[in-house]
Amino acid sequence: MSVVAESISSPASITTAGLIELSQKSRGLSLKSGMISATQAGDYQSAFKGRGMEYDESRLYQAGDDIRNIDWRVTARSGKAHTKLFCEERERPVHIWVDFRAPMFFATRGKFKAVIAAELASLFAWTANRQGDRVGGVVFSDSVHHELKPQRGKSAVLRLIKHMVEHPCWQQKDVIEEQQQGMLRSLINLRRMTRPGSLVILLSDFRGFDEKSRSHLIRLRQHNELIMVHIYDWLEEFLPPAGNYRIRNGEQELVFDTHNKNLVADHANKFKLHQDYLLKTARSCHANFLSCRTEDTPEIIIKEGLRSR
């Protein structure tokens, strides 16, 4: 699927106003997927029984039960100690992991991968907020890592937007380090801050994703739900017709020759291997996997990709 994106942000930058405007485009989206486990009251019915909002039933007291939950009326009537059980309405923490490393600032069509990631993050955040979830996550680059503890309300979405818009990577003040290390460190931190019962959304080109990264995702999925969105540019998948091409990043220029059929075939094969590896990872940990090109419309990618959840 390739749907031409509307110009909410410029191709190479993001704005607070543009990301706030996406709140309207999120109205047709949904992240709900049924029963979950969490640790705080909210909008998802949980099978977990503990101290909460609504009384469910009483049962015989068991060793380790909280004495504050003893049902004294039933205890007096039956002559045996009983404990109250509660059924909670639970909200869900949503962690949005946004990759702003150097390779994300690239596109030959549509918008920079980093711009697409920011728009996707905003759409997911507005959707989660509308459903009563707590919004937080990680915004990271090659050297700067921001952790946002999940919070309720519109202010949590605006906080995420602020961290994305004001990230130093947009001013090219970032220090580039080895890509695998930046991603791995960020995934380790994401695992540390994520509580069981969360929804984790990963927005990246997954450059440098390896077995160590994969192992952290599998562990994350053991107690959480995962959505992986692979963001890429057309040129990363296919080289253009035979010719000599120049690519600039503002500081350097690269010239490559696509007359070489072996080069073209090798390029396409490397991309396929990379995406196949991501798909294999998603399947092995039962994660939702979405692909988004830089010229696609983010809200359509989300709506179509999560239709079956």
User: Three-state SS across 47-95?
Assistant: EEEECCCEEEEEEECCCCCCHHHECHHHHHHHCCCEEEEEEEEECCEEE
What percent of the chain is helix, strand and coil (3-state, nearest 5)? 40, 25, 35
**Contact indicator for 32, 133 with CB cutoff of 8 Å:** no
Whole-number mean pLDDT of the chain? Answer: 86
Which residue bears the tokens 């090659």? Answer: 142
pTM: 0.79
**Residue 9: pLDDT band with limits 50, 70, 90:** low
Q: Rounded mean pLDDT of 282-304? A: 95
Whole-Å CA distances, 38 to 89, 199, 281, 303: 10, 11, 25, 25
| pLDDT of res. 265 | 92
The pLDDT, as a whole number, for residue 42 is 52
Query: Please, what is the Cα angle at 128 between 169 and 167, to 5 degrees?
Result: 10
Residue 11 has pLDDT above 90, yes or no: yes
16-24: average pLDDT: 97
Decide which of 3.40.50.410, 1.20.58.220, 3.40.50.970, 2.60.40.10 is the CATH code for 16-36+92-305. Answer: 3.40.50.410
Structure tokens at 9: 């942000």
Q: What residues does CATH 3.40.50.410 cover in the chain?
A: 16-36+92-305
Give the pLDDT confidence of 101-136 residue by residue, as tens digits: 999 999 999 999 999 999 999 999 999 999 999 999
Residue 77: pLDDT over 90: yes
AA letter at 74:
V
